Amino acid sequence: MKALIRIFSIFTLMMVFGQCQKVELPPPEEGQPVFSLQSSLDGEPLEITAGDSTYIMQASFFVDTAGVTVYQGTFEELGCTASCLPSLRFSFQAAGPGPAQPDTDLRIGDYPYRAPGNSSTEVSYRVIFSGTHDSNDIDAPITYNWDLGDGSSSGFQSPEHEYPNDEPRFVRLETRNAAGCLSSIEKKITFEPSPVPCEVDFMLQPAQGASPVQAVFEGPFNLYSSWSWFENDSSLATTYPLGQFLPQEVREVCLTATNTEGCQSQTCKSIFLLSFQGFGYCATDFSYQALIDTLFTPAPEQFGTVWLEYVDEQGRFFTSASGVQDTINGDFFRVLSTEPFEPNENGFPTEKLEVAFQCRLYDPDGQPSGILSGTGVIAVAHP
């Protein structure tokens, strides 16, 4: 009996000790990245983590003209519009037209690659402009007159224009306010950022001595090889005094400059006397946002297929669907696991997919451009 009591006591102590030593695993950290890709392109590492860098995972879908759902997941740089980091898009075409069936279309297993066919790729080059008119006198109404550099014009303050290619262009904006004050600016727009911008500016301010006003070049001056004021003064003066004004005179002041890369730009402002406030002026400026959009339209009637689209840092487009995949020698696409995930930013449900793949990328003309392989976790959306 005493032995039984002793055994029971030891057992009880072990239970209590075990309970005291219980260790609970900490919950996962909030904000920990969910979607990532470990891959290589022709042997060069290409690793992407959404949420832990400038990349995001964009889950989306669309229904094509034949009524077939295409589920898409895209790794892309957050908020980028030009000269972006490489992006990679995964597209899954449904097994046929009709209502979306993600449980069937997004299954675990191997997928055939979309074969080259009557697919097409369209690249558009859009620029969104924003004009401004500054004056210390009468402002409104203001008229805007754009020369968009390709023979097109606009009278809007912030026009949007599509160009046929990505060639740099000189754009000029001229504005006039209700008092009739006219000013303008011309600069070079590019789809690739330039280390030396092709634009110039100056400010007007009160002067000392005989000249009531002076124009002052706004640097940095080491970006320019030469400049001249409105009277073709090429002395490289950074401050240009303006002579005496007549009471009703409106004088235009222009500065033309050539930067160290040989690109010339111009800014013109107007100045006039005010009765009690010294001098009045008006000035024009504009900013722009260059957008390169690539629209890939796959060949129709290839149901249950998958394809990848890759855009490099130069904005060049490549896809697995513009050429044949060598499945005999290792090209494949496989979904390893699926599970529902939280809704995307538009409120549509999403699916988290673990994938592994190897494919050959081609340019839009069908020329081979490298082998892409990797594993990762992505997300796609569905209706």
As a 3-state breakdown, the chain gives helix, strand, coil percent values, each rounded to 5, of 10, 50, 40
Residue in 62, 65, 101, 102 with CA at minimum distance from that of residue 300: 65
Q: Which two tokens stand for residue 155?
A: 């009278």
Instruction: State the pLDDT at residue 28.
Output: 37
Instruction: State the pLDDT at residue 169.
Output: 95
Expressed in angstroms, the distance from the first to the final Cα of the chain is 71
- DSSP labels, 47-112: EEETTSSSEEEEEEEEE-TTS-EEEEEEEEETT--SSPPPEEEEEEE-SSSSS--HHHHS-SEE-P
Instruction: State the pLDDT at residue 84.
Output: 86
Tell me whether residue 103 is exposed, middle or buried, using C-beta atoms within 10 angstroms of its C-beta: 0 to 12, 13 to 18, 19 or more.
Answer: exposed
Instruction: State the pLDDT at residue 209.
Output: 64
- Give the length of the chain: 383
Exposed e or buried b for every residue in 297-333, given b needs 16+ CB within 10 A? Answer: ebeeebebbbbbbbbbeebebbbbbbbebeeeeebeb
Quote the pTM value.
Answer: 0.62
Q: What three-state secondary structure class fits 8?
A: helix
Cβ atoms 181, 280 nearer than 8 A: yes
Cβ atoms 300, 309 nearer than 8 A: no
Q: Which two tokens stand for residue 111?
A: 């997928």
Please give the Cα distance from 280 to 153 (Å, whole number).
Answer: 29
Please give the Cα distance from 60 to 68 (Å, whole number).
Answer: 14
Cα angle vertex 205, ends 201, 210, to 5°?
125
Instruction: State the pLDDT at residue 241.
Output: 84
Q: Which two tokens stand for residue 367?
A: 């020329």
- Cis amide leading into 220 (omega within 30): yes
Q: Which two tokens stand for residue 12?
A: 């009880």
How far, rounded to the nearest angstrom, does the alpha carbon of residue 236 sit from its chain's CA centroid?
38
Give pLDDT tens digits for 97-133: 999 999 999 999 999 999 987 777 788 899 999 999 9
pLDDT of the chain, 383 residues: tens digit per residue: 333 334 333 334 333 333 333 333 334 344 456 899 999 999 999 999 998 678 999 999 999 888 999 999 999 998 887 778 999 999 999 999 999 999 999 999 999 999 987 777 788 899 999 999 998 876 778 999 999 999 999 999 999 999 999 999 999 999 999 888 999 999 999 988 788 889 999 998 887 766 678 889 997 889 999 898 876 565 678 888 887 777 778 888 999 999 999 999 999 999 887 765 578 889 999 999 998 887 777 767 789 999 999 999 888 999 999 999 999 999 999 999 999 999 998 899 999 999 999 999 999 889 999 999 999 999 999 99
| Phi–psi pair at 303, nearest 5 degrees | -80, 150
Q: Which two tokens stand for residue 371?
A: 């082998």
Exposed e or buried b for every residue in 255-278, given b needs 16+ CB within 10 A? Answer: bbbbbeeebbbbbbbbbbbeeeee
- DSSP labels, 159-213: -EEEESS---EEEEEEEE-TT--EEEEEEEE-SS--SS-S--EEEEEE-STT-SE
The number of CA neighbours under 13 Å toward the Cβ of 81 is 11
CATH class held by domain 124-291: mainly beta
CATH 2.60.40.10 in the chain is located at 124-291
| Phi–psi pair at 120, nearest 5 degrees | -145, 150
Q: Which helix or strand (DSSP H or E) is residue 19 part of?
A: helix 2-20
